[in-house]
Structure 1
Amino acid sequence: MHGTLSQPDSPKPVPPSRLPLTLRLALRELRGGLAGFRVFIACIALGVAAISGVTSIAASLSGGLGREGRRILGGDITYSLINREATPAERAVLDGQAPVSEVASLRAMAVAGDGSAALVELKAVDRSYPAVGAAETDPPAPVQTLIAERNGLYGAVADPALLTRLGLKVGDRVTLGGFPIEIRAALVSEPDRIGSGIGFGPRLLVSLSALRATGLVQPGSLNRFTYRLQLPQADDARLSAVNAAVQKALPEAGFEMRSRDNADPRFAKGIERFTQFLT
């Protein structure tokens, strides 16, 4: 007589009354609260999407800043000095590394013929400006032609806001430190505008020779001289080597250095704060 194997009894479901209180409450919430759970999942998805979007925008801004670093700076490496120009010895060291263009900036009062005046962001450039990019003027003309000396009178390119504020037009004159300057065009755009930071007045673009003729550069005046080194084909290692050579030769010069891979630290810091705030 063959025996039969007995099948194990299947576990019987535990009556709800015997479940722990927390599990009973969870089951009750699941039976009646699935709609609310779907809303919760939707909120989580929306939050993740928002954070991803903010991060993507910040990455795009940072990437754009890196790609346009050379145009923003007007060069590949810049060295700035406040309240003084580079000495001949310091300039010789910079010139020995790469072609250099010089830009000076300061605030000044532009006075029109009728006596009205306005604070301007004065920018003085050398013969190589703009070394990177292009400046647009109205009427169109090379910047060097517009700001050159003609018949003993230097020219300037003015922000349209300055023309409106003082009621001027192309061909009129303003004085800087009592020195007459002829406005020969309106400034539509300048390639290195972002690198100049926030201005407190409209732009007035002149030559370095005109700036020196005004007498505004003197002890106690708040000005900045920037020297832009042009190394368009150099890689990051070459830029680092050039900067190391300058720092070694001029350890006490007090230069503020920026390179094309970090063209505007203030803007980069603003992007970081923007990302943290929105996140």
Structure 2
Amino acid sequence: MSSIPAKDWKTVWGLLTSGMYEHVRKNGFTDVVLGLSGGMDSALVAALAVDALGKEHVHGVMMPSPWSSEGSITDSELLAANLGMETFTVPIAPMLDAFEKALAPAFAGKERDVTEENIQARIRGVILMSFSNKFRWMLMATGNKSELAAGYCTMYGDMCGSLAPIADLYKTEVYQLARWFNEREGRLSIPQNIFDKAPSAELRPGQTDQDSLPAYDVLDSILHALIEESKPAVDIELPGIPREQIERVLELVRRSAFKRLQAAPLLPVGKHAFGIHVHM
């Protein structure tokens, strides 16, 4: 388990919903749009948005790729039904195929790698920005603090958005807040399967976040010591976590600073938030 101290989740929820409402309304918007992936981050942002703005003002877009699991759609549909929000489905396979064919001459002889994975994320960013422009809905980015700190995010892809509501919550905290929300509701508004499945961007067959990152409880413990406790890297020692694991995370944080400079504004709920704060 993560060593991060528990927050007062009722207070955090209030800060996030009031902050979202104020940011959206002060910028002249009434509605928001977000991508629904079937994962926990987008589920929590959707729940926050419905609470903050009302279900009629929240719109979700599902964008399945050739590697999306059936659960990514069915879990998103169940979530949306539970929350009462509108959804759209825009498959990205034709667009991905067009990009790959267009780039094939230039990429001849090169192996598939993160490039093709990031193209998927950027296609989704274009689709979401198109909904935002066409309907004048503010786009919500759904990334969390763990991803932003470690650079596990795609510029001009999943980082697209005018506000990143949960970007000051570590991944383990995202799950804790989601559990609190379900307890408050007295039902599984966020479906159980979203809690149970392994976190994944589904950018290649069988992918999980832990292919690229340490387990989130380990990652978040290291990040908390580095960011919240402001410990010098050389002084971070955590029981059961090898030094090489700590050094790996520190390197991820160092190498991804340029991404954080371009992150969407966030709603601060802790003492040390990355990125641009929205003052409430």
TM-score category of the 2 structures, normalised to the smaller one: under 0.3
Which structure has the greater CA radius of gyration? 1
**TM-score normalised per structure 1:** 0.24
Higher share of residues assigned strand: 1
**TM-score normalised per structure 2:** 0.24
Which protein has greater RCO, CA pairs closer than 8 Å, 6+ apart? 1
Higher share of residues assigned helix: 2
